[in-house]
A and B are shown apart, each in its own frame.
Chain A
Amino acid sequence: DVKVTQSSRYLVKRTGEKVFLECVQDMDHENMFWYRQDPGLGLRLIYFSYDVKMKEKGDIPEGYSVSREKKERFSLILESASTNQTSMYLCASSLIGGDAYEQYFGPGTRLTVT
């Protein structure tokens, strides 16, 4: 079974803090994704990566950056957290090309910025 783990289930941070969210997958997947999920807005793609050292902006990259130094690890960074970044953050991974882009999700990190 694919396992995607996220470093924290719940986080509370103050406005202006730098926040790191870590994601690790154990199935040798090439692709990794970061989403945020908000009521009424659904899942929105922040950044994705198809390979180590590669990163691409998704639909809402502003205020975020990412790092992928190793294949199994994809980190999301909030450079200066703001209250409008309070959300559920979901990491996902998938195989390259095949399996019709099936993505496997971690349990999520519920981030609150006060």
Chain B
Amino acid sequence: TQLLEQSPQFLSIQEGENLTVYCNSSSVFSSLQWYRQEPGEGPVLLVTVVTGGEVKKLKRLTFQFGDARKDSSLHITAAQPGDTGLYLCAGGVLMNYGGSQGNLIFGKGTKLSVKP
């Protein structure tokens, strides 16, 4: 069974601080995605990384895919209250349906709270 472990589970910081969230597995994934979910809403896709070692930036957010495609990190610089939410990583898994079909394995999430 493929698992994705996220750490930390909870994170409470002050506005302006930096933080890093980790997503680790013993399995190799074909891609890795990060989602952000606000209370009472569905997850919203932030980024997809597909190449080992890939780094993507989205304003103050930096995403990195590990060289071996088993782990990923999300770094937020100068966090703001609007960054508050549940951050989920999800690994792409190829399914045997005669084509390049895939499902996602989700981590349990990191709940981030940024206080003003």
Contact = CB atoms under 8 A, between A and B. Distances in A.
Which of B31, B102, B108 has the most A CB atoms < 10 Å from its CB? B102
Nearest to B92: A101
13 contacts: A42-B88, A43-B88, A96-B100, A97-B102, A100-B30, A100-B102, A101-B31, A101-B33, A101-B104, A102-B33, A103-B104, A105-B43, A107-B41
Contact of B101 (A4, A96, A107): A96
B116 interface: no
Contact of A104 (B41, B45, B102): B45
B45 A42 contact: no
Given A42-B106, A105-B44, A108-B40, A100 B101 contact: no
Contacts of A96: 99-101
Interface residues of B, number: 27
Contacts of B102: 97, 100-101
Nearest to A31: B101
Contacts of B41: 107-108
Contacts of A33: 103
Main secondary structure of the interface of A (DSSP, over half): mixed
Given A100-B48, A101-B102, A103-B45, 9 more contacts: A41-B108, A42-B109, A43-B43, A48-B103, A100-B92, A103-B33, A103-B90, A103-B104, A105-B35
Contacts of A48: 103
Nearest to A9: B40
A40 B10 CA distance: 11
B82 interface: no
Interface in A69-114: 90, 92, 96-108, 110
A97 B103 contact: no
Contacts of A104: 45
B112 to A, nearest CB: 16
Interface in B93-107: 93, 97, 99-104, 106-107
